Amino acid sequence: MQRNELTALLAKLLKIDAARVTENARLTDLVADSFVLIETVVELQEELDITLVQEDLDGVVSVSQLLDVVTAKLA
């Protein structure tokens, strides 16, 4: 899956305009609270049939970093 497809999926799951989901965007700027972000990660795992553990997400603050983690899991 291409990064632009992952970005579009993330926008869909967050229910926000895809134009807001740029590689440089901070995840906390895209969601109202951290619970929404956790739900989104769970939905992302289900949608892509991957497993992300806490260690995978440690230090992840931007869309780009999240896409790096997801891309590595899909490889």
pLDDT tens-digit profile of 26-42? 999 998 888 988 999 99
Between CA 65 and CA 66, with CA 75 as vertex, the angle to 5 degrees is 15
pLDDT computed for residue 32 by the predictor: 81
Mean pLDDT for 6-21 is 94
Domain of residue 45, residue span = 3-74
What are the structure tokens assigned to 51, written together? 């497993």
Does residue 9 have a pLDDT over 90?
A: yes
Continuous segment of H or E residues that includes residue 7: helix 3-14
The per-residue pLDDT for range 37-68, each reduced to its tens digit, is: 899 999 999 999 999 999 999 999 999 999 99
Strand-pair partners of 62: 26
Distances (CA, A) of 7 to 14, 25, 27: 10, 11, 12
DSSP designation for 60: -
